[in-house]
Structure 1
Amino acid sequence: MKVLCLWHATEAEIDLIKQNVPRGTEVVAPEGEYFSRFESTYSDLKRHAVDADAFIGWTLPDGILEIAEKLKILSWLHTGVDDLRRMGVLALAKQRGFKVANARGANAIAVAEQAMMFLLALAKKTILKNEASRDKRRLFPLFADEYRSAMLHGRTIGIIGVGSIGSHIAKRAKAFDMHVIGVRRNKERQVEYVDSMHGMDELHSVLAKCDYIVLATPNTAETSSFFGKLELAAMKPSAFLVNIARGSLVQEKPLHEALTSGRLRGYAADVWPMYDFGKTFPISWVPRLEIQKLPNVTGSIDQAANADDVLERYLDLGTQNLVEFATGKSLTREVNLDLGY
């Protein structure tokens, strides 16, 4: 088997893969100068791609799949595959018969910690109070609505999408003595630390009960833009919304209206909407209404997974995908090409 790393892998990373895959497996990577070592170009990869059995990496240059006629598996070093769906890779995999596996779970703990950071940052008015501290400005009067922190203790959190990330958020919410409600496609699959599980058809009734809502769903055709005016109206005006998944889950215009009218207390996101070429006009990868600048909004520009241990986890799980495939085992993280995750 020939494995092609789609990035400028270090010798240590190549050795890691070689040490785990069956003896005799060839592992190659592009060489030479690069702008970002986590990506590569068509010209970097073409001589190896034509006879590679497996791809592993974070990016796919245009045209590289078309010449990889022997490809049998793509080990995608991301937890989501919405980019692959958008690029037509999942459809191509279904047509040609090669498998796709991802690294879901690799960043789950880091992202769950980021979600808890957002909950605390919103509840404790961290940015406002940090700026006041820098300016040596006393917040007065004491206990005024605009300065008083919210509490997590005894409050209710709704987690929409209780997969690997959502379940870790539930566990951490319990450490704050929160009541945890989960919403997922299959409500029969119970999760530890979730007090009650509900289906998507019960979403609005769950929203009405919660002081905090965290979006942790995969981005699919069903979930894209699913959180809009009706969902925001179902929430308590005193509630906070956190998006730790994908920016396209939330409709920006009703979100902006809710945040500026007092209908929603605050919003935090690791991700912003992406208005892609061919689907929107004009294109933009930043919020059109500049919600990131509102005083009751905080964000982190897709940095939740940028944490200690995560890169190593991506490589470990991505390599495990290759090992399972090479040894004829079922793929633990195989992507369902019909469902898109």
Structure 2
Amino acid sequence: MKVLCLWYATDDEIAYIKNAMPAGTEVVAPKGEYFSRFECAYSELSPLAVDADAFIGFALPKGLIGVAEKLKLYCTLHTGIDDLDKPLLKQRGIRVANTRGANAVACAEHAMMLMLALAKQTLYKHQQLLEGRRIFPTWEDGTRSATLQGRTVGVIGVGAIGSRVAQYAKGFDMHVLGVRRNKANSVEHVDSMHSMDELHTVLPKCDYVVVATPFTDETSRFFGKAEFAAMKPSSFLINISRGKCIQEQPLYEALTSGRLRGFAADVWPRYEYGETFPIGYTSRLEIHKLPNVIGSLGEAGNADDVKERHIQWGTESLSDFARGKPIRREVNLDEGY
């Protein structure tokens, strides 16, 4: 069996994968100079991909699957698979595994950081400190911090990340409402679970809403005008899922009209060639520049232990496949996760 690493893997990373595989497994990776260690050009990978049985990596160059005639498994070192050519993978019979949950702790911690930064107006108050200004008068609308204790948070998407958010929210004595596809699957730290059909009955009860859904056809732009209308004007929205889950214009209108107190995100809309015009990244309405918005640009998973866990869990899927075992993190290409 031949495994191709789709990044400039170190000798230690290659040895780690090889040691986890059956004897005789060949593990290869590109060598040489690079701009980004975690991505490679098609021209660098295609000669190595021709006879590869499995891929593992952080980025997949367009067209590489086409030259990999023996490919049977792709282990993507990410949670989402929305960037993959799922029809082609299904047509070729190529199985896919991801590393869902590898960044769950980091992303849930990031979500709580965003929630606290919004509630406590962290950037505004830090700027006042830099300028030597004492906020006055005290306890006024616009300068008064929000509180987490005793408040209600709605977690939309109670998977690996959402369940961690629920756990951390309980540390702040919050009431937690969960929303997921199958509400029959209860989760610890969630006070009551609801289906997506019940979303509009959950939103009016929430002081904070965290979007942590997987990105699928069903969740693409699912949060729009009707959802903002159902929320409290005093509530906050935090998105840790995908930028495309939330409709941009209704979000802008809610933030600038007093319909929503604040918004935070680590993920933003991505306008791709052929899908939108013009193309680009971050908000075309510059939502990220509004005074009641705080965020980061895809940094939630940039944390200690996350890279190592991605490689470990991807390697476990490779090992499962090589030994004929059920692949523990195999993806259902029809469902998208």
Question: Taking structure 1 as the reference length, what is the TM-score of the superposition?
Answer: 0.98
For 1:188, which of 184, 187, 195 is the aligned residue? 184
Equivalent-residue separation in structure 2 for 1:110 and 1:203 (angstroms): 26
Q: What's 2:70 paired with? A: 70
> How far off is 1:340 after superposition?
1.1
Q: What's 1:267 paired with? A: 263
Equivalent-residue separation in structure 1 for 2:145 and 2:46 (angstroms): 56
Query: 1:95 and 2:123 equivalent?
Result: no
For 1:322, which of 299, 302, 318 is the aligned residue? 318
Q: What's 1:134 paired with? A: 130
> How far off is 1:208 after superposition?
0.6
> How far off is 1:3 after superposition?
0.2
The superposition leaves residues 22-79 of structure 1 with CA deviations (integer Å, 9 ceiling, x where unpaired) of 1110000001111111001111111210100000001111211001010010000001
Q: What's 2:118 paired with? A: 122
Q: What's 1:151 paired with? A: 147
Unaligned runs of 5+ in 1: none
For 1:205, which of 201, 204, 226 is the aligned residue? 201
> How far off is 1:109 after superposition?
0.1
For 1:301, which of 292, 297, 304 is the aligned residue? 297
The superposition leaves residues 278-332 of structure 1 with CA deviations (integer Å, 9 ceiling, x where unpaired) of 0111111120100000000001100000000000000000101101111111111
Q: What's 2:214 paired with? A: 218
Equivalent-residue separation in structure 1 for 2:324 and 2:175 (angstroms): 43
- What is the aligned-residue identity percentage? 65
Q: What's 1:8 paired with? A: 8
Count of aligned residue pairs for this structure pair? 337
> How far off is 1:195 after superposition?
0.5
Q: What's 2:100 paired with? A: 104
* Secondary structure at 1:162 match in 2: coil
Equivalent-residue separation in structure 2 for 1:43 and 1:333 (angstroms): 30
The superposition leaves residues 75-127 of structure 1 with CA deviations (integer Å, 9 ceiling, x where unpaired) of 0000111111xxx2x21111111100001010000000000001100110111
Q: What's 1:46 paired with? A: 46
Equivalent-residue separation in structure 1 for 2:179 and 2:65 (angstroms): 37
Amino acid at match of 1:189: N
Runs of 4+ displaced beyond 3 Å: none
Unaligned runs of 5+ in 2: none
Amino acid at match of 1:113: E
Query: 1:332 and 2:290 equivalent?
Result: no
* Secondary structure at 1:104 match in 2: coil
Equivalent-residue separation in structure 2 for 1:144 and 1:48 (angstroms): 64
* Secondary structure at 1:330 match in 2: coil
Amino acid at match of 2:108: A
Question: Taking structure 2 as the reference length, what is the TM-score of the superposition?
Answer: 0.99
* Secondary structure at 2:154 match in 1: strand
Q: What's 2:161 paired with? A: 165
Equivalent-residue separation in structure 2 for 1:164 and 1:139 (angstroms): 39
Query: 1:252 and 2:271 equivalent?
Result: no
Amino acid at match of 1:110: A
Equivalent-residue separation in structure 1 for 2:294 and 2:210 (angstroms): 14
* Secondary structure at 1:82 match in 2: coil
